[in-house]
Structure 1
Amino acid sequence: MLVNEDCKELKEDSEKGNILSRENLILLSSSVILGIAFDILFYGKALGVSYPLFIIAFYTVFLFNAKSKLVKPQMSFEWLLTLPVLALALTYFIFSNEIFQVLNFFAVPLLVIIQTTLLTSNSRYKWYSSGFILDIILGAFARPLVNIAKPFAILSKAASSKLHSTKYRNAGKVLMGLLVSVSLALIVVPLLASADQVFNSFVENIPDFFTGINAGDFIAQVLVVLVACILLFSYILSLIKPEECGLKPSGELGASSPARPLDAIMVITVLCVMNIIYLVFTAIQFSYLFSHSSLPEGFTYSEYARRGFFELLLVTVINLSIVLCNINFTKKSGVRMGNANRILSSLLILCTAVMLLSAHLRMSLYEDAYGYTYLRIFTHAFMVFIFVLLIIALFKIWHERVPLLKAYIITAIAAYVIINYINVDSIVARNNIERYKKSSVIDTMYLTGLSYDAMPYLMGLVYDSKEDISEEMKKYLSYREKELLESRDWQSFNISRYRAERLISKYTLNYDQKETE
């Protein structure tokens, strides 16, 4: 009889299909753990060490569940993406710049989608082709939703199939026994409490355990766990088993060679005319800006810088576009025409580099006159980025085998990580304070709007000899101190905030000692 029951259970298991497979159950269990971790780390908490911890937890679950689908570990783009993902996630632990916190809130998930798609060979297009954008959109919007019903189907199937087995019928009997026990306990416990004062005190203190629980907040957290669990389960499952949800890549669609509609003679003509204009412009730049000669009457250097900067930056972007179009869309011609094209394109790049240098000097003059801001520092960084792109394009002109788009994508990712780590707030604060020492002009209102990353530099202004500036900075410290006291959860721990808190505490201690003396 027992053998027949075991055979019946085995037969039922074989009829369930893959929905109750060991892989699905492990993934669902680990997704529940991830959902709980998401709630603990993020619900009602400011972002801090919680962000990199969750990224590590996600990758642990992903790599464990997808280990059979992963491409071989090697020095390839898909594996090297781990570096920028972790570096950007760690910025929430190291820095406190709100601009980058918002940008990285989208940048990190984007890189995670790209990496997980490539690691599991679920991309239909090469990562350096424009078609890969479709794979990213699929990963961002379709994969988290395509399997949202499957967790409920798994639980429903498990419940309906197991309730008929002997061991689960016994579990039902245990549940009935518990219900009866609870009913009896409601009668017995009050009697025991009346009989013994110590036991009565223990029973009376039990409700205190539940007083801190808010029903609405509890329900909200359950929903957070549920939603996070389902979306993460759906996303990972769609990568592990794309065929079950109709997302299996259909063939390899690589990047096809672009059509080349531009005639070489026409392009060379354009390059000749543009280079003549830019050579004249470059000569003027050397005569006025680089040699510090006197400007035309009615112009100051700050005014000269402000009027020409953005125009130069726009021309630089236009020139880079011309070079890229020439590289990708100009028809192949003879050796002489090819060499002429290369020389003229190289000359265009050199003239563009001079324009970038001119724009950089103009912005520096403007900063000397009006101070340093986020936007102006970011503009300098953008100019450096454009310069690197120009160098890569120049290399491509003389070495056609260089994969231009690959190089640009890698450069863009590296540049974004670097700009996160140069600590823009400190640069802005330090340069403005140095300018203040020379000119006695400073915008304290702007400086007090910087993040905690600038605090080590701003502390110097607290002890400034000018009373109005010193008093304004003391008010700023008082405001920051109250703000720091509001977010003390361990999940929100951040090195930048911790350092600021220590600096403020040290200042407060020294101030109290002086007052005592």
Structure 2
Amino acid sequence: MWRTMRPRETGNERPEEKEGTIMNDEGRKEREENKSAQQKMPQEKRPGIARPVIPFPVLGGASALYALFYTFCLYRNASGITYPFFVAGTLFYFSFCTKKFRVLSGNSGSGRKDALDGLYAGVLLLLGISVCLTADGKIHLMTKTGIFLLTVVLVMRQFYRTKEWDFFTWLCRICRSLAETLSCLDTPFRDGFGWLGERDRKKKGGRFQAAAIGLLAAIPFLIVILALLISADAVFSDLLERAAEGMNLWNTGGMIALTALIFVLSYSYMRGLTADLTNAPAPGNGKEKKKYQPVSALAFTSVTALVYLFFCGIQVAYLFWGKMRLPDGLTWAQYARQGFFQLLFVCLINLALVLVCLAAFEESRALRAVLTAISLMTYIMIASSAYRMLLYIQNYHLTFLRLFVLWALGVIALVFAGVIVSIYWKGFPLFAYCTVTVAALYLLPAFGRPDYWIARYDIAAMQAGKYDDYGYLSSLSADAAPILLDPETAAVWDDTWPFESYLDKIQVRTEEMGIRDFNVSRQAAGELAELWGQE
């Protein structure tokens, strides 16, 4: 007679992990599989470092405090003096989370911070300081985008060994980390209710969880009931309206909504890093990626290089030497106006082309030679685009977009220097080089106040009788006020309505400024505007 045999309990079974922890039952099996796979790999090629279990109160509490700090610094305050403190608080939040996860730096076996991490953190703090020194909204947008991306790069460096990552691996990892954030948007609620439920079952027999469910269910019910009661009685509606005005309900609701949003996003981002990304083998580590034969790439790039060679010959003959006549009816200003944006785009295409060929195809001397030729001819295109832009500025004067194009061309020129090095040096850290180059060069417009120099150039042209676009001058930010409101230079346009419009704009924005949203550039512009108001 056969009997069903039950396995003996040895006492070594792994205990069930509690709900509301970072590594739950769903991810434990995958973690154990990856751990066994990592043990078979050489130590230097292991894709990640084991992450410990972390309770919800630690990550949830840190995220909640960060969300409150974010709201205090940035609610209705896009460029105030609190912005540098926000950047410092963001760095502290991610540093705290990294330490609580007991994550060793992916770029140092001893866990010591790489010097590059310190450089990134320093640039982030400088960018944060620059926000409250300028009033240019365009610069603010680019600065905040740069702060966001550089912060993501810095955090990724703390969680992964990135030394073997190529350029495209970095891009894929950044996009994947942001996608994981979206997939983990439910984790703050899942982990929170799981932790509360477990705590409640131990202490109160489930009453807290039941009460929480009841309160949540009451919210949509009360919304419907209040809407009906407000429409049913005018006195009740008036009392609620006055009470809402006294409590500044819209501001309170906005702050609560922003705090909740930042809590969910920050928690979900850290949760995403510790879920799939921590256990999945990192692209570029371990197994060598398969590459294609270079024949197709060589054929494609050779044809492209021939077209570029013919085009560059025309640029040298027409634009640089001026040996050939322009087509009938085409002036040099019109010729210069055509093509600088297209050439800028072609330079970016060439950058992508060279990077794809390096990443996807096997090494070949012929391919390296063609890619080098394309890179060198790209410098001729960069020079052509810059020369066209300078000719155009001489005839049509300076705007922010034209100045930005010149800056972008300079950045691309330096980036291509790194690309040429990476063609011959396989281990060259191209992504880090590009990041440092772009960040360092961006500090120039971030602290340089482009609107000031634009106003200075255009006012000089206006004094010479070559410029009369008063409307564009009035659209400049408070950074341009030292030129536009200077009595010596403002005489050329102080009797026009755009001048009055610019003056009113400066006065209004200065009057609305408080301590929290204090901006150095707006304050200086406001003092100049007061002098005009006294006249």
**Cα distance in 2 between the residues matched to 1:347 and 1:104:** 34
Aligned to 2:291: 259
Measured on the aligned residues, the alpha-carbon RMSD in Å equals 4.0
Q: Describe the superposition over 1:463-509 as per-residue Cα deviations: whole angstroms up to 9, x where unpaired.
A: 544466566424421232022212x2322122221221222234434
**Cα distance in 1 between the residues matched to 2:323 and 2:519:** 46
Q: Find the residue that maps to 2:464 and give its secondary structure.
A: helix
1:307 and 2:360 equivalent?
Answer: no
Taking a change above 3 Å as real, the CA distance of residues 433 and 322 of structure 1, as seen in their structure-2 partners, is same
| AA matched with 2:464 | K
1:136 and 2:166 equivalent?
Answer: no
Aligned to 2:28: none
Q: Describe the superposition over 1:319-372 as per-residue Cα deviations: whole angstroms up to 9, x where unpaired.
A: 545544554556545xxxx3x665665454444323322221211111121121
Aligned to 2:187: 146
| AA matched with 2:263 | C
**Cα distance in 2 between the residues matched to 1:424 and 1:233:** 37
1:432 and 2:458 equivalent?
Answer: yes
Once the 2 structures are TM-superposed, how far is the Cα of residue 445 of structure 1 from its aligned partner? 0.8
**Cα distance in 2 between the residues matched to 1:405 and 1:142:** 27
Conserved 8 A contact 2:130-2:446: yes
1:389-408 equivalences in 2 (<5 Å): 389-408=415-434
1:225 and 2:255 equivalent?
Answer: no
Taking a change above 3 Å as real, the CA distance of residues 49 and 332 of structure 1, as seen in their structure-2 partners, is same
Once the 2 structures are TM-superposed, how far is the Cα of residue 302 of structure 1 from its aligned partner? 0.7
1:281 and 2:314 equivalent?
Answer: yes
Once the 2 structures are TM-superposed, how far is the Cα of residue 139 of structure 1 from its aligned partner? 4.8
1:89-488 equivalences in 2 (<5 Å): 89-121=128-160, 126=165, 128=167, 129=169, 130-158=171-199, 161-162=202-203, 212-215=246-249, 217-236=251-270, 239=273, 242=274, 248-254=278-284, 256-257=288-289, 259-263=291-295, 266=299, 270=303, 273-274=306-307, 276-278=309-311, 280-285=313-318, 289-290=320-321, 295=326, 297-321=328-352, 323-324=354-355, 327-328=358-359, 331-333=362-364, 338=365, 345-460=371-486, 464-466=490-492, 469=495, 472-486=498-512, 488=513
Taking a change above 3 Å as real, the CA distance of residues 151 and 417 of structure 1, as seen in their structure-2 partners, is farther
In structure 1, which of residues 34, 41, 51 is the aligned counterpart of residue 66 of structure 2?
A: 34
Sequence identity (%): 22
Conserved 8 A contact 2:455-2:483: yes
Once the 2 structures are TM-superposed, how far is the Cα of residue 35 of structure 1 from its aligned partner? 3.0
Higher mean displacement: 151-160 or 472-481 = 151-160
Taking a change above 3 Å as real, the CA distance of residues 465 and 276 of structure 1, as seen in their structure-2 partners, is closer
Q: Describe the superposition over 1:215-264 as per-residue Cα deviations: whole angstroms up to 9, x where unpaired.
A: 5543443444344334434444555xx3xx66642334326446243328
Q: Describe the superposition over 1:423-466 as per-residue Cα deviations: whole angstroms up to 9, x where unpaired.
A: 22223222212222333423121111112122212123775444
**Cα distance in 1 between the residues matched to 2:251 and 2:427:** 59
Conserved 8 A contact 2:336-2:389: yes
Taking a change above 3 Å as real, the CA distance of residues 293 and 108 of structure 1, as seen in their structure-2 partners, is same
Aligned to 2:29: none
Which has the larger helix fraction? 1
Conserved 8 A contact 1:122-1:249: no
| AA matched with 1:82 | A
TM-score by length of 2: 0.69
**Cα distance in 1 between the residues matched to 2:151 and 2:348:** 30
**Cα distance in 1 between the residues matched to 2:436 and 2:135:** 26
Aligned to 1:205: none
Taking a change above 3 Å as real, the CA distance of residues 490 and 374 of structure 1, as seen in their structure-2 partners, is same
| AA matched with 2:122 | L
Taking a change above 3 Å as real, the CA distance of residues 97 and 142 of structure 1, as seen in their structure-2 partners, is farther
Higher mean displacement: 451-460 or 83-92 = 83-92
Taking a change above 3 Å as real, the CA distance of residues 80 and 100 of structure 1, as seen in their structure-2 partners, is same
Once the 2 structures are TM-superposed, how far is the Cα of residue 376 of structure 1 from its aligned partner? 1.0
**Cα distance in 2 between the residues matched to 1:124 and 1:156:** 42
Conserved 8 A contact 2:181-2:272: no
Aligned to 1:58: 90
Aligned to 2:122: 83
Conserved 8 A contact 2:152-2:174: no
Conserved 8 A contact 1:42-1:491: no
**Cα distance in 2 between the residues matched to 1:372 and 1:147:** 50
**Cα distance in 2 between the residues matched to 1:409 and 1:260:** 28
**Cα distance in 2 between the residues matched to 1:228 and 1:268:** 46
Higher mean displacement: 119-128 or 98-107 = 119-128
Conserved 8 A contact 1:425-1:451: yes
Aligned to 2:240: none
Conserved 8 A contact 1:46-1:491: no
Aligned to 1:7: none
Q: Find the residue that maps to 2:385 and give its secondary structure.
A: helix
**Cα distance in 1 between the residues matched to 2:268 and 2:339:** 52
**Cα distance in 2 between the residues matched to 1:121 and 1:410:** 19
**Cα distance in 2 between the residues matched to 1:283 and 1:449:** 38
Taking a change above 3 Å as real, the CA distance of residues 435 and 321 of structure 1, as seen in their structure-2 partners, is same
Q: Find the residue that maps to 2:132 and give its secondary structure.
A: helix
Taking a change above 3 Å as real, the CA distance of residues 327 and 361 of structure 1, as seen in their structure-2 partners, is same
| AA matched with 2:150 | L
Q: For this pair of structures, how many residues does the alignment match?
A: 443
Q: Find the residue that maps to 1:149 and give its secondary structure.
A: helix
